[in-house]
């Protein structure tokens, strides 16, 4: 029994050192896509910048699933100031997967992001920006 105590101490200290992700409040929107449900991206503080993640779900089988998402950084005026892509692997059957898009972005209070299914190299469809 005495030899188990040091192991227990190591396990407990490892559990205590795990930190939860620090979420940052960011205004975000998603361009709707037929047959899919896409969560608004949540922003997580990362040493390199912000990581954006959420769920993408196929509502029914059939049709082509997207393989890339486009994340646009929008200024207060609504103009795109930067963009990046994230790869996704949506199940062929109805189901969900997580998307995760790392960036080196740091935001001012009036900036926001827009997420859409990547359509070649076009930007997200214009909306009420």
* pLDDT tens digits for range 82-101: 999 999 988 877 789 999 99
Residue 10: the pLDDT is 47
Question: With 80 as the cut, is the pLDDT of residue 127 above it?
Answer: no
Measured from the Cβ of residue 69, the count of other Cβ atoms closer than 10 Å reads 24
Tell me, what's the pLDDT at 3? 53
Burial degree of 46 (CB within 10 A; 0-12, 13-18, 19+): middle
**Domain residue extents for the chain:** 21-117
Condensed to tens digits (0 to 9), the pLDDT of residues 35-73 reads 899 999 999 999 999 999 999 998 887 767 889 999 999
| Residues with Cβ within 8 Å of residue 53, at least 6 apart in sequence | 41, 42, 44, 98, 99, 100, 101
| Most distant pair of Cα atoms in the chain: their distance | 67
């Amino acid at each position: 029994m005495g030899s188990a105590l040091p192991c227990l101490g190591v396990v407990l200290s490892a559990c205590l050192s795990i930190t939860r992700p620090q979420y940052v409040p960011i205004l975000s929107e998603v361009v709707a896509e037929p047959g899919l449900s896409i969560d608004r991206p949540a922003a997580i503080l990362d040493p390199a910048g912000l990581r954006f993640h959420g769920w993408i779900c196929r509502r029914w089988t059939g049709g082509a699933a997207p393989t890339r998402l486009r994340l646009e950084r929008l200024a207060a005026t609504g103009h795109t100031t930067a963009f990046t892509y994230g790869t996704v692997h949506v199940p062929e059957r109805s189901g969900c997967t997580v998307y995760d898009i790392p960036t080196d972005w740091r935001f001012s209070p009036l900036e926001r992001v827009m997420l859409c299914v990547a359509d070649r190299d076009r930007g997200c469809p214009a909306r009420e920006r």
